[in-house]
Amino acid sequence: MSSFEGAEAVDRQRTMWTWWATLAGRPWLPSLALLALCAVIYLPGLVRLPPVDRTEIIWSETTRAMVDRGDWTSPRFGDDVHQYRPIGTFWVQGAARWLAGQAHERDISVYRIPSFIAVTLAVLALFWLGRGLVGAETALIASGLFAVAPLTVLVSQLAIAEGLCLLPATVAMLALARIYTNDEEPIRTALLFWVAVGIGILINALLVPILVLATLIALYIFDRDLSWLKRLRPIVGVPIALVLGVPWLLVRAHQDGVAFSGLSWREFLAALGGAQDMKLRAFPGTFVLALLLGFIPGTMLLGTALKRFWAERERQRLPRFLLAWVIGYLIYLEALSSKPGTYMVQTMFPALALAVAMVVTGERGEGKHPEWSGFWIWPTALAALPLAIFAAVYAFVGELPSFLALVLIAIVAGLFIWTGQLGREGHLRRWAAVGVSALGLFGLTLLGVVLPGIDRIWPAEMIAKAIAACPKRDAVMIGFREPSGRFLLDIPPDRQTPDALAERFAAKAPTLSIVEDRWAKRTNWALQSRSQNRLAQPTGCVSAYNMMRGCPLYFRIYSPNPAEPCAMPAAFSCSDRTAPIGFEKSGDCD
């Protein structure tokens, strides 16, 4: 190299951003920064987002009823026992509910706190365990990218097992990576691995063991060597994992007589694979698409990381392990899993984040974007993605964004454009910082501001506001059977039929009645069949949309005493000219 070329290289190095390295080099400051990042991004949605039908509310209502009955070994959703849902998640959510007290038993944020804590600790674990693999600066960048990935943000704010399980999955896989790449890794890392596997079983069945097994199979295909597994200390570790995971089987035996009795073979395999299950098989490529869209902004450098790691897989252990982690589990998901892609791919994000962060810290200051990256896209075009999402939400409900939402959306769009420009110019450390800011603000805006601010997509929440001043004891609701009605309004299925209302009227019991328009005729028939008067004039009305069934809804609310109707906010006055929102659907709308 000539003296001129050497001086030019030095100048390029000087232009590189050193903020990440400076932050990573200070004791405890990186951890505090990551903790603050997670709190700022996750907490607004955790607190403001209404309960989400259906899975989240089934978990929460089951936990609430379990604690209310005082039977912590028999979680049930009404009369339904979900055999494929491990006990650990109910116990952790139940502990949060018990600490919060009876007054907060229907506050969904209480049940979300464990997911928030687990995802935050998973982000911190990526930094703590990852710095031994790639160095502090790279691990810090990886943790930031992992924290703000849209699907990571999603599970941090929902009361479901996948948010909780992200912690043991991340810890187990990073401990396994350290054992694989370091012949002298201390025994405490192996013990940490087995503890994480056991806790993962207790929380979400065999999701973590399957993730580990898929990775080991892929690793064996790469290097044809299993001798390193003895460093896992299986003779000591397997009993530890079994002791931690066995309470789930004991609870199943307590409830079923024989654990999982009555399940078909397919249902049994689904039970082992995790707590979620879809009615239909996912289309091929569903999980790949969820991974690519759910890992933004890191997706922009996945091609670069894949190309470089594939070339290095025979010479270096860590690239080989990260490839096996992602490829092995992705093949399993596409081939065998019946789980929702939006809840399953997050366990691969730590591997992707480490790979992308290694590309970022390998930047050479050449002023051009890396090969095989997504930075060929014109920077301004990148703003189309968040703008399209926000526009679709508001167009669907026919509303305009609030001033705060408009400001935040504009900032998000500007940050997306900035990330594209930085990436095209090869300023990867700056790109990572702005990308973390852009996606963090995107998640905060969508889940903490935009969706909570659109009332009509939350029917149960709207009804709860409308009847806040009404006597709600033994209320009847007809035409809305989603779990949120049971959780928020305390209306079980036996009080969700026209006959139930007719029985109350026949018994002369004052009853708050909530009837959706499609069911008004059937309700009046049921009343007249018992020689009761038809429904009187409604006290208030609620126009909403059932997102789960794809139906606009219009509820009329009838006071227990029509002569002295309970007071309702003016926003819930009835109008025949109320325009339905969303797409019309004629049947199966309750």
pLDDT in tens, 447-465: 999 999 999 999 999 999 9
Measured CA to CA, the distance from residue 108 to residue 100 in angstroms comes to 11
pLDDT for residue 4: 41
pLDDT for residue 171: 99
The two beta strands, 476-478 and 540-546, are unpaired
* Angle at CA of residue 34, ends 30 and 38, nearest 5°: 170
Preceding amide of 224 cis, omega within 30: no
- The residue among 218, 226, 419 whose CA lies nearest residue 309 is 218
Give the CA count within 13 Å in the CB-facing half-sphere of 160: 25
Give the torsion sign (CA, 432, 438, 439, 444): positive
Burial of 36: CB neighbours in 10 Å, binned 0-12, 13-18, 19+: exposed
DSSP label of 369: P
pLDDT at 269 over 60: no
Higher-pLDDT residue of 2 and 393 is 393
Retrieve residue 79's tokens: 């009369």
Which of 72-86, 229-243, 553-567 has the weakest average pLDDT?
Answer: 72-86
pLDDT for residue 13: 45
Measured CA to CA in angstroms, residue 118 lies from 199, 291, 295 at distances of 12, 20, 19
pLDDT at 217 over 70: yes
pLDDT in tens, 308-356: 999 999 999 999 999 999 999 999 999 887 778 899 999 999 999 999 9
Give the pLDDT band of residue 589 (cuts 50, 70, 90).
Answer: confident
Give the pLDDT band of residue 167 (cuts 50, 70, 90).
Answer: very high
Lay out the sheet containing 551-558: strands in order across: 476-478, 513-516, 551-558, 540-546
Mean pLDDT confidence for 396-416? 96
Give the pLDDT band of residue 11 (cuts 50, 70, 90).
Answer: very low
Which of 130-144, 152-166, 205-219, 336-350 has the weakest average pLDDT?
Answer: 336-350
| Percent with pLDDT over 70 in the chain | 89
pLDDT for residue 276: 55
Whether the Cβ atoms of residue 43 and residue 444 lie closer than 8 Å to each other:
no
pLDDT for residue 541: 96
Measured CA to CA in angstroms, residue 258 lies from 241, 413, 567 at distances of 21, 55, 53
pLDDT at 590 over 90: no
pLDDT for residue 3: 46
Strands of 424-485 (E only): list them: 476-478
When the pLDDT of each residue in the chain is averaged and rounded to a whole number, the result is 91
pLDDT at 278 over 60: no
Q: How many CB atoms lie within 10 A of CB 132?
A: 16
pLDDT for residue 250: 84
Which of 524-533, 549-558, 576-585 has the weakest average pLDDT?
Answer: 576-585
pLDDT for residue 7: 46
pLDDT at 409 over 50: yes
Mean pLDDT confidence for 496-514? 94
pLDDT at 271 over 80: no
Mean pLDDT confidence for 218-229? 95
What's the start-to-end Cα distance of the chain, in Å?
74
pLDDT in tens, 88-128: 999 999 999 999 999 999 999 999 999 999 999 999 999 99
Measured CA to CA, the distance from residue 525 to residue 534 in angstroms comes to 8
Measured CA to CA, the distance from residue 430 to residue 434 in angstroms comes to 6
pLDDT for residue 531: 87
Measured CA to CA, the distance from residue 331 to residue 333 in angstroms comes to 5
| Percent with pLDDT over 90 in the chain | 78
Which of 244-253, 441-450, 504-513, 550-559 has the weakest average pLDDT?
Answer: 244-253
